């Protein structure tokens, strides 16, 4: 006879099915800045509604639902308090996910995911199907949406960069180039942690321009350099280490090999290539990266997360040899490669 306390398999399945409801509720409180408001002091829903210009009854229902999940706490007097989970939605706290929660709640995300069946049937990105163009082009034309997207992605970078610097010794290199390094946050972390390297940010001209003259560059002086170019065409020569952080996963195998081969052609002597990517574990091992791979399916043309074996195949095709893999305290793995025979 079944135990009266046995949990039906439908219970965890139900929690999974309503995950999008939770995500949207988190989006609401993140965009309204509720965690920042209750961090100052516990507040009633009436006060929070006035501060955010929202409907008190509707806001209360959102907060009540989240409090039942450990995001905020409602006291007997009706005031809402911060919890460790809610603290992650504050603006100026280490490891904040507020910008990421906002990014996931904007229409660009949920409309694309609403067409996921298109991707499964065709293998093509749902984003392009819904918005009529690739997401890179869309964000180039929609500044506000691009801002939410860039802030959301950058919000994950701090913890990732700290984990990378903690796992790998960059001080052994004289020159480090971050290929397609975007805002240069990883190079900033490296220049702060390692004594010797000259660091170079290599990216497209419109990406490089806003970074020149920054505080970090002024602090590092000549050790922080910039180079403009397209990694599909060529990469600056002569560095001791070339970094590709979350670049390869944006592209299909053919395009990925082109980038890797260009790095290989730029490498001399004892140079290293550091391919920093999410890795798909084998078997049924639970992994955030397996879910992230679905995001790549929905948003990118040919982009995907790969297994270690798949990365090895790409490196071999580009004339590189996988030397070792280094785990970090985040979903990213550092794959160190050297020129092949």
**For the residues of 122-149, what is the DSSP string, one character each?**
HSS-HHHHHHSS-HHHHHHH-HHHHHHH
Q: How does pLDDT run across 75-129, given as a tens digit for each residue?
A: 999 999 999 999 999 998 888 999 999 999 999 999 999 999 999 999 999 999 9
Q: Phi, psi at residue 9, to the nearest 5°?
A: -60, -20
Model confidence at 218: pLDDT above 70: no
- Give the mean model confidence (pLDDT) for residues 9-25: 93
CA distance 296 to 116: 11
* Edge-to-edge strands, sheet with 241-245: 224-228, 198-203, 175-179, 241-245, 272-278, 332-339, 320-327
CA distance 314 to 18: 38
- pTM across the whole model: 0.87
Q: How does pLDDT run across 290-309, given as a tens digit for each residue?
A: 999 999 999 998 999 999 99
**Residue whose structure tokens are 């100052």:** 40
- Give the mean model confidence (pLDDT) for residues 209-221: 61
Please tell me which residue in 118, 135, 249, 311 is annotated as part of the active site: 249
Q: Phi, psi at residue 197, to the nearest 5°?
A: -65, 140
Q: What is the pLDDT of residue 132?
A: 96
- Give the mean model confidence (pLDDT) for residues 185-213: 83
Q: What is the pLDDT of residue 216?
A: 56
Query: Quick one: what percent of the chain has pLDDT higher than 70?
Result: 94
Q: What is the pLDDT of residue 222?
A: 62
Q: What is the pLDDT of residue 215?
A: 46
**Which domains are assigned to the chain?**
18-99 (1.10.10.10), 156-339 (3.40.50.150)
Q: How does pLDDT run across 145-158, given as a tens digit for each residue?
A: 988 888 888 888 88
Q: What is the pLDDT of residue 1?
A: 47
**For the residues of 299-318, what is the DSSP string, one character each?**
HSSS---B-HHHHHHHHHHT
* Dihedral sign from CA coordinates of 251, 257, 262, 268: positive
249 is catalytic: yes
- Give the mean model confidence (pLDDT) for residues 269-285: 94
Q: How does pLDDT run across 219-252, given as a tens digit for each residue?
A: 555 688 899 999 999 999 999 999 999 999 999 9
- What are the tokens at 36? 């920042």
Q: How does pLDDT run across 318-341, given as a tens digit for each residue?
A: 999 999 999 999 999 999 999 986
**For the residues of 52-97, what is the DSSP string, one character each?**
HT--HHHHHHHHHHHHTTTSSEE-TTSEEE--HHHHTT-SSSTT--
**Residue whose structure tokens are 């798909």:** 280
- What are the tokens at 125? 């990105």
How many Å separate Cα 115 from the centre of its chain?
A: 22
* Strand 79-81 with 43-44, pairing: antiparallel
- Give the mean model confidence (pLDDT) for residues 311-316: 97
Q: What is the pLDDT of residue 221?
A: 56
Model confidence at 60: pLDDT above 60: yes
């Amino acid at each position: 006879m079944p135990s009266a306390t046995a949990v039906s398999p439908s219970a965890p399945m139900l929690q999974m099915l309503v995950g999008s409801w939770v995500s949207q509720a988190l989006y609401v409180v993140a965009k309204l800045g509720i965690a920042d408001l209750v961090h100052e002091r516990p507040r009633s829903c009436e006060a929070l509604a006035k501060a955010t210009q929202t409907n008190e009854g509707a806001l209360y229902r959102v907060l009540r639902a989240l409090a039942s999940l450990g995001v905020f706490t409602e006291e007997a007097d009706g005031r809402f308090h911060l919890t460790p989970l809610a603290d992650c939605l504050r603006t100026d706290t280490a490891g904040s996910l507020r910008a990421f929660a906002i990014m996931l709640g904007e229409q660009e995300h949920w409309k694309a995911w609403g067409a996921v069946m298109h991707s499964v049937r065709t293998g093509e990105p749902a984003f392009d199907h819904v918005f009529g163009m690739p997401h890179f082009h869309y964000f180039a034309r929609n500044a506000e949406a691009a801002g939410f997207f860039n802030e959301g992605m950058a919000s994950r970078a701090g913890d990732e960069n700290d984990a990378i610097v903690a796992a790998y010794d960059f001080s052994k290199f004289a020159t480090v180039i971050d290929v397609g390094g975007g805002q240069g946050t990883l190079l900033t972390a490296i220049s702060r942690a390692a004594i010797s390297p000259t660091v170079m940010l290599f990216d497209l001209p419109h990406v490089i321009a806003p970074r020149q003259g920054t505080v970090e560059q002024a602090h590092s002086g000549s050790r922080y350099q910039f180079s403009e170019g397209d990694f599909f065409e060529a990469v600056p020569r002569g560095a001791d280490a070339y970094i590709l952080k979350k670049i390869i996963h944006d592209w299909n195998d053919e395009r990925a090999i082109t980038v890797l081969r260009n790095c290989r052609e730029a490498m001399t002597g004892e140079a290293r290539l550091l391919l920093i990517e999410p890795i798909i574990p084998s078997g049924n091992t639970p992994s955030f990266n397996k879910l992230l791979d679905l995001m790549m399916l929905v948003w990118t043309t040919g982009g995907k997360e790969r297994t270690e074996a798949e990365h090895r195949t790409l490196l071999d095709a580009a004339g590189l040899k996988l030397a070792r893999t280094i785990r970090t305290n985040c979903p990213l793995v550092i794959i160190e490669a050297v020129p092949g025979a």
